[in-house]
Amino acid sequence: MYRLEAIDFGRRMAVEKEMEKIETAPQPNAVFDESSNFLIYATLLEIKMVNLHTNKVARILGKVESNDRFLRIALYQEIEAARK
């Protein structure tokens, strides 16, 4: 299990509070993969991929990025016809 130290958590929360004050700050989003099996979204600490069939976190991305806050998720999925 990944734990965040109290000082880092406090710093991240302070940044979140400042971002809430900015009207033009990008709003977080969530995206589905092409199969609609996974929901991908950013949290305060990382990016989570949740399997919607099992309701379990399948993958966590970016948790080692201590200075980054992910907000917007974009997902590129190759079109099946292009694979041939």
Q: For 25-56, b where at least 16 C-beta lie within 10 A, e where not — what string?
A: eeeeeeeeeeeeebbbebeebbbbbbeeeeee
pLDDT at 83 over 70: no
Mean pLDDT score across all residues of the chain: 85
pLDDT at 11 over 80: yes
Residue 11: how many other CB atoms lie within 10 Å: 14
DSSP state of 82: G
Least confident of 6-15, 34-43, 72-81: 72-81
Extents of the domains making up the chain: 6-83
Q: What is the pLDDT of residue 82?
A: 55
Could you read off the pLDDT of 24-34 as tens digits, one per residue? Answer: 888 889 999 98
